Structure 1
Amino acid sequence: MATLGFNPTKIRIQTFQSHKLISNIISLSKPTKIPLNLSQFSANSPTTRLFRHSSVSKSSVSAPFEAETVDEEDDPTAELSYLDTEVDPESISEWELDFCSRPILDIRGKKIWELLVCDDSLSLQFTKYFPNNVINSLTLKDAIVSISDELGVPLPDKVRFFRSQMQTIIMKACKELGIKPVPSKRCLSLLLWLEERYETVYMRHPGFQKGAKPLLALDNPFPMELPENLFGEKWAFVQLPFSDVQQEVSSLETKFVFGASLDLDLLGIEIDGKTMIPGLAVASSRAKPLAAWMNGLEVCSIEADLTRACLILSVGISTRYVYATYKKTPVTTNEAEAWEAVKKACGGLHFLAIQDDLDSDDCVGFWLLLDLPPPPV
Structure 2
Amino acid sequence: VMDYNAYNLPLKGEGKTSIANTTLGAYDYWAVEYAYKPIATEQEAAELAKIAARSTEPQLAYGDDFDQGVGGPYDGFDPRTNQRDLGDDPLAYARKRLKLSQELWERVQTRKPEAGEDPLRARRSVFESFRQLGMTANNVSKYVGGMHAERVVPGVTPGQAFKPVDNAQQREALRFIAGGLLSSDSFKFKPEFLVTQSLDYNEWDRGLPMSIPDSVSALQGRVLDRLMSPNTARRLIEQSSYLPEAQRKSAVSLSEVYGTLQGAIFSELKTGAEIDRMRRSLQREYLRRLQAQLNRATNGATVYADAFSMARYHATQLSNELRAAAAKPGLSVETRAHLAETQDMLSSMLKATLVRS
> What TM-score do you get using the length of structure 1 for normalisation?
0.25
Q: Which has the higher contact order (CA 8 A, sep 6+)?
A: 1
> What TM-score do you get using the length of structure 2 for normalisation?
0.27
Larger Rg: 2
Please identify which structure carries the higher strand content: 1
